[in-house]
Amino acid sequence: MFNFIKINNFFKLFGYQIISYKKNVYTFVEKYSSYKQALLKSKNEETYVTKNFQKKQNLMRLETLETSDRFCIFPVFFSAILNQNSKKLEFLEVGGGNNPIFLHFLKCNNKKVKFHVLEEKNFKIKVPNKFKNYLIYYNNLKQINFQNLNSIIFSGSIQYMENYQEILSKAFNSKLKYIIITETFFTSKKKNIYTLQNNMEKVKFPNIFFSFQLLNKTFIRNNYDLIYCSKRKVNKYKHNILNNRDFCVRDLIYKLN
């Protein structure tokens, strides 16, 4: 097989030269002491992807939806609960986007269960009439009645939120039975790491690498037991400072004791 030098010499015979360069592409860059500092350094006033990106979204079509990876966790777990519990269940999903867990639950079980979805203020989406009694979007945390909820799921969203502690406090105070966190970055360090994500819409935005030790203690203090924990995607992403093995993706399910 030709190496680069041989290939380049071949094309030089015809008056061409191949210029090769290697560019490091980092999903995450830099380390900061706080969310606010990371946001300031990002020079991105929207804290996440652009407004135009969020306004262009359409709800995923159930017919073409594939349920795999992290989307399996919720349907599989609550399928067993529904079979054992006749009580009406209501869920809050934080950050469902145009691909809410509601659709995956319906796809897997053919059961419509009420989902409230909390999203960014810029996020706009049209919900088909056939789902309007079961799928409701909100842009303001104050609009949501936690007392009606059974569980809350942060579907890959808690790591982008400066006010995640406010939402967790509401969940703790309302004694929600289950709190689920999926597709979220964690580190084994004793403190959270604040960094910038660098792979969507050509903008940088803050991402929290949670200290697993620190977050788990918060749940223990509030009388929650960790009943499911996965560790995935080790060494899959690049950070320009951290060793790739120092962070990973986890999925967690906590149950009120």
How far is Cα 242 from Cα 254, in angstroms, rounded to an integer? 28
Mean pLDDT of the region 8-32: 60
How far is Cα 254 from Cα 161, in angstroms, rounded to an integer? 19
Residue-wise burial string across 62-73, b where 16 or more C-beta atoms lie within 10 A, e elsewhere: eeeeebeebbeb
How far is Cα 135 from Cα 117, in angstroms, rounded to an integer? 7
Mean pLDDT of the region 177-183: 94
CB 144 within 8 A of CB 84: no
Give the tens place of pLDDT for each residue, 71-127: 777 777 777 666 566 567 899 999 988 889 899 888 888 888 899 999 988 788 889
186 or 233, which is more confident = 186
Residue 50 has pLDDT above 80, yes or no: no
192: left (phi over 0), alpha (psi -120 to 50) or beta: beta
Give the tens place of pLDDT for each residue, 135-151: 999 999 999 999 999 99
pTM, rounded to two decimals: 0.82
Residue 6 is predicted with a pLDDT of 47
CATH T-level topology, domain 70-191+212-256: Rossmann fold (3.40.50)
Domain ranges for the chain = 70-191+212-256
